[in-house]
A and B are shown apart, each in its own frame.
Chain A
Amino acid sequence: MININISDSATKLNSLNRRMFILATAKIIILGGIVSRLFFLQVKENKKYLTLSDKNRIREWKLPPIRGEFQDYFGNTIAGNFEAYQLHIIPEEVEDFRYVIYRVKELLELSDKQFKKIVKKKNEIKPWETLIVADNLSWEKFSKINNHLYDLNGVKPVISISRDYPYKENFTHVLGYVSQANENDLLTNENIKEKFVPGLKVGKTGLEKSFEQKLIGSNSVERYEVNAYGRRISQLAFQKGDKGETIKLTIDTKIQELTNELLKEKAGSICVMDIYTGAIIAMHSSPSFDPNSFVFGISQDEWQLIRNNPMKPLVNKSLSGNYSPGSTIKPIVALSALENEIIKPDFTVQCRGHKNPLELYGQTYHCWKKEGHGFVNLREAMKQSCDTYFYEVARRLGVDRLSVTAKKFGLGQKVFKDVFDNEKNGLVPNTEWKKNALGRNWVLGETIITGIGQGFIQTTPIQLCLMTAQIANGGYKIYPKIVVNDDNQYADKFTPLYKKSRNIKIVQDAMFSSTNEVRGTSYRSRLDDPKYRFAGKTGTSQVKKITELDRELDLKTFQIPYEERDHALYVAFGPYKSPRYALSIIIEHGGSGGTVAAPLAKKLFKMIIDRHEIRKNYDNKKYLDI
Chain B
Amino acid sequence: MYQYRRFNNKNGFFQKFGNLDYILLSCLLILGFISLATMYSTDGGEVLFHTRSHFIKFVVFFSMMLVISFINIKFWFSLGYLSYAVILGMLIWTINFGITASGSKRWIDLYFLNIQPSELMKIFIILCLAKYFHRMKAQHVNSFYSLCFSLIIIFVPMSLVIIQPDLGTSLLIAISGIVVLWFAGLNHKYFFYSCLLSIISLPIIISFLKPYQKLRVLTFLNPDRDPLGAGYQIIQSKIAVGSGGFTGKGFLKGTQSYLEFLPEKHTDFIFTLFSEEFGFIGSVLLLLIYSIIIYRVIRIGALSRSYFAKLFCYSFGTSIFIYVVINMSMVLGLLPIVGSPLPIMSYGGSSMLATMIGFGIVMSAKTHSQQSIA
Contact, CB under 8 Å: A42 / B307: no
Cα separation A163 to B240 with both chains bound (whole Å): 46
Q: A228 interface residue, CB < 8 Å from B?
A: yes
Q: B323 interface residue, CB < 8 Å from A?
A: no
Contact, CB under 8 Å: B239 / A52: yes
Cα separation A31 to B259 with both chains bound (whole Å): 31
Q: A25 interface residue, CB < 8 Å from B?
A: no
Which residues in chain B, 228-269, are within 8 Å of chain A measured between CB atoms? 236, 238-246, 255-256, 259-261
Residues of B within 8 A of A437 (CB): none
Residues of A within 8 A of B348 (CB): none
Chain B min CB distance to A1 (Å): 12
Considering only CB atoms, which chain B residue lies closest to A233 in the complex? B259
Chain B min CB distance to A233 (Å): 7
Residues of B within 8 A of A226 (CB): 259
- Quick one: given A12-B138, A16-B307, A233-B259, are A52 and B242 in contact (CB under 8 Å)? yes
Cα separation A33 to B219 with both chains bound (whole Å): 22
Chain B min CB distance to A293 (Å): 43
Contact, CB under 8 Å: B260 / A227: yes
Contact, CB under 8 Å: B242 / A45: yes
Cα separation A445 to B291 with both chains bound (whole Å): 110
Which residues in chain A, 21-47, are within 8 Å of chain B measured between CB atoms? 23-24, 27, 30-31, 33-35, 37-39, 41-43, 45-46
- Quick one: given A12-B307, A46-B243, A57-B261, are A37 and B185 in contact (CB under 8 Å)? no
Cα separation A154 to B301 with both chains bound (whole Å): 66
Most buried by B among A8, A11, A23: A23
- Quick one: given A30-B325, A38-B284, A53-B255, are A19 and B183 in contact (CB under 8 Å)? yes
Contact, CB under 8 Å: B241 / A38: yes
Binary flags per residue of B266-310, CB closer than 8 Å to A gives 1, else 0: 000000000100011001100100010010001001100001001
Residues of A within 8 A of B332 (CB): 34, 37-38, 41
Q: Name the contact of A34 in the complex, choosing from B236, B302, B328 (C-beta under 8 A).
A: B328
Contact, CB under 8 Å: A227 / B259: yes
Cα separation A11 to B245 with both chains bound (whole Å): 49
Q: B137 interface residue, CB < 8 Å from A?
A: yes
Q: Name the contact of A8 in the complex, choosing from B137, B243, B294, B325 (C-beta under 8 A).
A: B137
Cα separation A24 to B259 with both chains bound (whole Å): 40
Cα separation A33 to B139 with both chains bound (whole Å): 37
Considering only CB atoms, which chain A residue lies closest to B235 in the complex? A52
Contact, CB under 8 Å: B283 / A31: no
Q: B86 interface residue, CB < 8 Å from A?
A: no
Contact, CB under 8 Å: B260 / A11: no
Q: Name the contact of A20 in the complex, choosing from B284, B298, B325, B334 (C-beta under 8 A).
A: B298
Q: A578 interface residue, CB < 8 Å from B?
A: no
Considering only CB atoms, which chain B residue lies closest to A50 in the complex? B243
Chain A min CB distance to B330 (Å): 11
Cα separation A228 to B301 with both chains bound (whole Å): 47
- Quick one: given A12-B185, A37-B334, A41-B238, are A53 and B256 in contact (CB under 8 Å)? yes
Per DSSP, chain B at the interface is helix
Q: B314 interface residue, CB < 8 Å from A?
A: yes
Q: B164 interface residue, CB < 8 Å from A?
A: no
Per DSSP, chain A at the interface is helix
Q: B321 interface residue, CB < 8 Å from A?
A: yes
Residues of B within 8 A of A233 (CB): 259
Contact, CB under 8 Å: A13 / B242: no
Residues of B within 8 A of A17 (CB): 302
Chain A min CB distance to B326 (Å): 10
Contact, CB under 8 Å: B259 / A42: no
Q: What total of chain A residues lie within 8 Å of the partner, measured CB to CB?
A: 39
- Quick one: given A16-B185, A19-B185, are A53 and B280 in contact (CB under 8 Å)? no
Residues of B within 8 A of A39 (CB): 280
- Quick one: given A15-B138, A16-B307, A19-B183, are A53 and B245 in contact (CB under 8 Å)? no
Cα separation A574 to B321 with both chains bound (whole Å): 102
Residues of B within 8 A of A43 (CB): 245-246, 280
Which residues in chain A, 41-96, are within 8 Å of chain B measured between CB atoms? 41-43, 45-46, 48-50, 52-53, 56-57
Considering only CB atoms, which chain A residue lies closest to B321 in the complex? A27
Q: Name the contact of B239 in the complex, choosing from A8, A35, A53 (C-beta under 8 A).
A: A53
Q: B17 interface residue, CB < 8 Å from A?
A: no
Q: A9 interface residue, CB < 8 Å from B?
A: yes
Residues of B within 8 A of A57 (CB): 255-256, 259, 261
Q: Name the contact of B283 in the complex, choosing from A19, A20, A27, A42 (C-beta under 8 A).
A: A42
Q: A229 interface residue, CB < 8 Å from B?
A: yes
Contact, CB under 8 Å: B183 / A20: yes
Binary flags per residue of A414-453, CB closer than 8 Å to B gives 1, else 0: 0000000000000000000000000000000000000000
Chain B min CB distance to A565 (Å): 68
Most buried by B among A13, A42, A233: A42
Cα separation A43 to B240 with both chains bound (whole Å): 13
Cα separation A75 to B244 with both chains bound (whole Å): 58
Considering only CB atoms, which chain A residue lies closest to B311 in the complex? A16
Q: Name the contact of A31 in the complex, choosing from B139, B236, B287, B334 (C-beta under 8 A).
A: B287
Contact, CB under 8 Å: B259 / A56: yes
Q: A225 interface residue, CB < 8 Å from B?
A: yes
- Quick one: given A15-B185, A16-B183, A46-B242, are A38 and B260 in contact (CB under 8 Å)? no
Residues of B within 8 A of A37 (CB): 329, 332, 334
Chain A min CB distance to B142 (Å): 11
Q: Name the contact of B238 in the complex, choosing from A33, A35, A49 (C-beta under 8 A).
A: A49
Cα separation A463 to B350 with both chains bound (whole Å): 91
Contact, CB under 8 Å: A49 / B260: no
Considering only CB atoms, which chain A residue lies closest to B310 in the complex? A16
Most buried by B among A11, A12, A48, A57: A12
Cα separation A8 to B302 with both chains bound (whole Å): 18
What 3 pairs between A and B have smallest CB-CB spacing?
Answer: A49-B242, A53-B243, A15-B185
Q: What is A's interface to B at a CB cutoff of 8 Å?
A: 8-9, 11-13, 15-17, 19-20, 23-24, 27, 30-31, 33-35, 37-39, 41-43, 45-46, 48-50, 52-53, 56-57, 225-229, 233
Q: What is B's interface to A at a CB cutoff of 8 Å?
A: 137-139, 141, 182-185, 236, 238-246, 255-256, 259-261, 275, 279-280, 283-284, 287, 291, 294, 298, 301-302, 307, 310-311, 314, 318, 321, 325, 328-329, 332, 334
